[in-house]
Amino acid sequence: MFALGTIINTGAVIAGGILGMILKKGIPEKSQHILMQACGIATIFIGISGVLKEMLVINSQTIETKGTFLLIFSLVLGGLAGSLLSIEDRLERLGDILKRKLHSEKDTQFVEGFVTSTLVICVGAMAIVGAIEDGLTGSCSTLTAKAILDFVIVLIFASTMGKGVVFSALPLFLYQGAITVLAALLGDFMDAALISDISFIGSALIFCVGVNIAFGKKFNTGNLLPALLVPIVYHFLPF
């Protein structure tokens, strides 16, 4: 079946979200708070490890760094583009529309849950690599592994932030599905170096999401999403 990996991943997010909502009723409020902090700290270190994996070059006698300028330019240019396009506001407005459609006006965490979960499950190497593999070879092994991870992540998020988390399945389906379709139509348009650079920038965004989860909103991470496109432009420049 075409795009089977994305279908499995989307189903896992919906299932994890529903189970998390069921569990939410039995978790005391003070426990929900510490769970949110735990999720945030875990997400921070996932982001840090992804960045350091790409930046640090360990030789026999020295430790060097690479990719500094790519990181700076990606975040600066991506942030500028995202702020001009008001991506974060658009995500929040989409959350508000879903909230009104579901008559959940009293759910104060609906939009936060939707935006936070969307960013966590869509920004990352596995989403990109897995979707490309699915389109090129029909293999859904990477996205199946991601589905298991997302199930756990979304379960915890939904247990603390409620039903808005479940609807992050929609942008996930559209995002990964679009990459799969492009991969099938255009062929192997991303080599290992480009995927590595995109994953590098994605890890930096995951760090920002983790800080927001653990300490309250400090970064407009949605506005930084265009940073993921900068490595693609950089990769295809003729110099």
pLDDT of residue 10: 95
Q: What is the mean pLDDT of each run of 10 residues along the chain (239 residues)?
A: 88 93 77 80 86 84 85 94 91 87 79 88 80 83 88 87 90 91 75 81 87 85 88 77
Q: Which residues of 188-218 are buried (b: 16+ CB within 10 A; e: fewer)?
A: eebeeebbbbbbbbbbbbbbbbbbbbbeeee
Provide the pLDDT for residue 38.
Answer: 84
The interaxial angle of helices 68-85 and 29-55, nearest 10 deg, is 130
Output the pLDDT for position 239: 59
> What's the pLDDT score for residue 122?
86
Q: What is the pTM of this model?
A: 0.80
For position 61, what pLDDT does the model report?
77
